[in-house]
Homo-oligomer: A and B are copies of this chain.
Amino acid sequence: MSARSMILNLFFYNPQGDYRFSWRHPDAPEKEIFTLDFYADLARQAEAAKLDAIFVADHVAIWDSIPSGVTHYANARLEPLTLLSALAAVTKHIGLMGTASSSYNEPYNIARYFASLDFLSNGRASWNVVTSWQAEEAANFGLTTVPKHDERYQRADEFIRVVTALWQSWQEDAILYHKQSGHFAAADKVNPIHHQGDFFNVRGPLTVPRPPQGQPLIVQAGSSEAGKTLATRYADLHFTFVRTIEEGLAYRADINHRLAQVGRTPESFKIIAGVLPIVVESDEELRQREALIDGLVPDEMAIDLVSSYTGLDLRQFDPDQPLPPLPESDNFDGIRTHLEQVRQYDPTLSIRELGRRLLKSDSAWTVAGNAEFVADRLTEMFQSGAADGFNLMFPLLPGDFTRFTEQVVPLLQQRGVFHQAYPPGTLRDRLGLSLPQPTLKA
């Protein structure tokens, strides 16, 4: 393989760790998740380990469609853009990847926030574009139903074109600072974008000049057809879930085909796989961990989740018995993919056990073992070409993350698959990502 380093990002949505109920772990943080110090410590530790970026996921609603969600799930959290802007001030090298929705924002605002963050961080900003599929989110922005998948992706496509055009509205050398002559900027290098589209009319130019990276990195995480199309058109990084080398290579072949169709090279596009790395000393420790984690799932929520997925009020049934007959899919007045998901489980499972499995179901690749084992699996996946790097989703923060940085990162560095120091330049420079061509004609 090439001498290029794998990309390693510290990823989180739940600041207590990636499992839904990590907050109940005896070592999980409590009130400190609402302080800058907690995140500043994580960021400094990530930077000491030379990690490439901190990746903060987001939803623009709390998850309360399940009655017990507010009670049992740790819904409350800080907002990514403000958090990452604060972290820009306490770090020097690490990338700052923040999630923002193309469905519930204005492109002019998003362009400003990320351009400004790019300046504040000296070229370390990155925008993870999401289209926001939850009903709870739509209701916070004036909608009674979630816009259809295709419409959300059409809007995202136009949204990204407007944002990137705004980032290009000041040419790199537009500002002159000629105090004597009174010329602050070269007017022919500061251009309105005059965008008129299906979703947006935006004149420009932006209030923030050309960002240090040329443009902040764009990350896209959807693996649907529309998601992959959007990613290969505009994204620099693509966050996906692959669990085996074969799956990763097949996924990359599909992606490379799509890249070729839009005139892009494989090198211009990094595939980042989600992974849950669990470093343990022994099989016995792993078993104890699993038992502990199992015990954190609240029964009430497991049962409510099955109720929500099936449209049945299961609180009236014995939770230790199997499900009553499921409704027909054709007339189902809920989310049909949820009902189909339930059908795929063993019908003899108890309601409680089914709910626990649904609550724990996770798309990420789990790699559990000692440090050598975890380093081996990541190295293989990377060297095979199945992934350019990993979004590290730790079950428990900061504990599992500390183990990883102390024990696994040095092994990856010894094997030459992860850098020992930050290369110079912006985040874009460091990841070897060239500047995309302009996406929107004026």
Contacts and interface: CB of A to CB of B under 8 A. Distances in A.
Contact of A116 (B82, B121, B207): B82
B185 A108 contact: no
B79 A207 contact: yes
A315 B182 CA distance: 18
Contacts of A142: 200-202
A170 interface: yes
Given A108-B141, A113-B79, A205 B72 contact: no
B202 A78 contact: no
A36 interface: yes
B89 A205 contact: no
B115 A104 contact: no
Given A82-B85, A113-B81, A209-B34, A104 B104 contact: no
A441 to B, nearest CB: 18
Contacts of A31: 175, 177
B116 A205 contact: no
A292 to B, nearest CB: 12
A183 B108 contact: no
A71 B177 CA distance: 10
A1 interface: no
A338 to B, nearest CB: 21
A120 interface: yes
Given A61-B207, A112-B79, A73 B184 contact: yes
A326 interface: no
A433 interface: no
A30 to B, nearest CB: 4
Contacts of A139: 201-203
B179 A209 contact: no
A207 B76 contact: yes
Contacts of A23: 177, 179, 184
Contacts of A34: 119, 209
A108 to B, nearest CB: 4
Interface of A: 21, 23-26, 28, 30-31, 34-36, 40, 59-62, 64, 68, 70-79, 81-83, 85-90, 104-106, 108-109, 112-113, 115-117, 119-122, 136, 139-143, 170, 175, 177, 179, 182-187, 190, 192, 200-209, 296, 298
